Structure formats: C-alpha cells, structure tokens
Amino acid sequence: MLYLSLIIFDMNTQLSLFAVDAYISKKKPIPYAQNKEQNLSVVNDIAPNYHLYPSEDDEPMAQDSRQANIMVNLKNALNYIFDNKKDIFVGIDLFLYLTRNKVKAPDIMVARGVKEEEHRKSYIIDKEGKAPDVVMEVLSSSNYADKNDLKNRLNFYAECKIKEFYVIHTQPCLSIDIYFLVNDSYYNKILDFDNFYDNYLECSIYVKNGEIVVEDKNNEIIEGFTAQVKAKKEAEKAKKEAQEKAELEAKARQEAEKAQKEAEKAQKEAEKQAKLEAKARQEAEEEKRQMWLQLEELHNLLKKQTKI
C-alpha cells in the first residue's frame, strides 16, 4: 500500500487536502476518492504531475521461465544491436501511458529518437513527446485465457499510434505475428515475412527450429542474445584484428627482408662490378707497362745498331 497526499484546487480555487489510499498496480491505475469526477476536471487544468503515474506493481514480469527468457533474450539482442546508439530506448515490462487512465505494460518497447535512460521507470507518451515505434508481447496462459486480451491490446497500441506490434505466441507452438499500423488507426497483419527486415529494429526476427532467431543487417545471427555473446563477439573481433595486425606485421617483415635481400644483392653486384672494374684497370695498366717495356727494348736495340 502506498499513501499519497494530494493537494488540489477545488472549483472555488480553495485548497482542499485529502488522502488517497492507492494500491499501485501495473494493470490497475491508482483509484481516486469517491468525489473524483468533481475534482478531476480541476486536476486536468493543472500541469500533469508525472509522479502520480505508478511504475511498479506486485505482479511478476513473466508467468513462467520460458516467457521470461524470451523477453530478456530479445531485450539483450536489441541492446546489442543498438549498443552504440544513445538515442534509442529499449524497455522491458514498463508501464506505457497514453493518458493517466489508459495504460498497458508491453513486454518489450523500442522508441527511436528517445534518449536511453538507465533509470526510466515508465514511458509516458505525453512526457516523451512520441509513442514507441515498436512494441512486443510474449503471450502467456493468462493472455490466452482472456479472449479479448489481444483485441484490447491491438486497439490500445493503435490508439497510441505505435507503428509495429509483434505478437509472440507460445501456444500451441512458438510463432510470431507482426502487425503494421495503417492510417494511424488500425493494424494489418503481415501474412508472409520470411525475408522481412525491420528498419525500426535494424534486424530480422523469426522462428526457426522452434527457437526465436535475431539476425542483424549483415545477416549474422545473434546467438543466445546474452552478454556473453557480446563478449564473445568482441573477443572474436579483437582476435580478428590481432590476426590482421599480425598479418600486416608479417607482411611488413617479409617486405623488409625482401628489401634487405635486394639491397644485399645490389651491394654484392656493386662489389662484383667494382672488382671487375679494378681488374680491368689492372690489366690495362699491365698492358700499358708491357707496351712501354717493349718500346724501351726496341729503343735500346736501335741505339746499338746505330753505334755499329
């Protein structure tokens, strides 16, 4: 039980103080006092007090572990996809208020252009300035027991002008229905969405082999949807980057070794060429020396003949 003391103005603009015994329930808005109709018109003339919008109840998030796992896994998958985008809000099991007395608690909601807030306790359309773009409901036994439940949700989300509504059936087998808002007034169900890519969610969601599959824009399946998967993918990415770096370094080493070998080869060829040139100079000098010796001998011979 939560006791709230509300100060409101009556029709004569005089202060009246009364206590409201309010049981906060996700499915049951806080009841007003017996004379609420008399005072409600005055309250509506005052700026809305969003603190009066309940954000908690005593009901569990899910009725069974399967429903809970699907909800949590889907939220983790969407968080993974939107990881670097701070202007997309993904909520799970939060109150969605169209007005103070018109409220539902969709299992998953996605609102683009709305700041991600870690401590948002409810989603009030009037306060946020827009409705969520997508809502999801994972149906449980209580939903199936109420024959009008799905119809009421369709009508409510259409009135909120939510663009897409995912209905995830758990009975008799796991399946998904996707509804699109038409003319901002009613929903049409997609009959065939085998290759449907959702631009609002930046992924495809479908059922395969009895399991929900989330596939990103690169056609990669986000397996398990958990934080461990994100860590695994980041580790794989780091490993791939390390491998690429190692390959680049190995290639650079190979190119450096090749350049060094070519330089050594060029040096050897230069040394060889230098040796050949030195040898050629030596041979030329020797040939010149021999020529001078021959000329000297010829000169001496001519001198002897002249004396005779």
Check if the beta carbon of residue 67 is closer than 8 Å to that of residue 137. Answer: no
Domains of the chain and CATH, by start: 1-57 (no CATH), 60-225 (3.90.1570.10)
pLDDT single digits (tens) 118-168: 778 899 999 999 999 999 999 988 888 888 999 999 999 999 999 999 999
Q: How far apart are CA 190 and CA 131, in angstroms?
A: 21
Q: What percentage of the chain has pLDDT greater than the value 90?
A: 36
Which value, in Å, is the radius of gyration of the alpha carbons in the chain?
42
CA 274 vs CA 150, 260, 266, 286: distances in Å: 94, 20, 12, 18
Question: What pLDDT is recorded for position 62?
Answer: 59
Question: What pLDDT is recorded for position 48?
Answer: 58
Check if the beta carbon of residue 50 is closer than 8 Å to that of residue 195. Answer: no
The DSSP-derived string for 55-90 is: ---SS-S-SSHHHHHHHHHHHHHHHHHTTT-TTEEE
Question: What pLDDT is recorded for position 306?
Answer: 78
Q: What is the mean pLDDT of the chain?
A: 78
Residue 14: phi and psi, rounded to 5, are -95, 150
Q: At CA 109, angle to CA 229 and CA 231, rounded to 5?
A: 10
pTM over 0.75: no
Question: What pLDDT is recorded for position 231?
Answer: 64
Q: How far apart are CA 43 and CA 213, in angstroms?
A: 47
Question: What pLDDT is recorded for position 45?
Answer: 38
Check if the beta carbon of residue 204 is closer than 8 Å to that of residue 164. Answer: no
What integer is the mean pLDDT of 210-228? 77
Q: Is the pLDDT of residue 297 over 90?
A: no
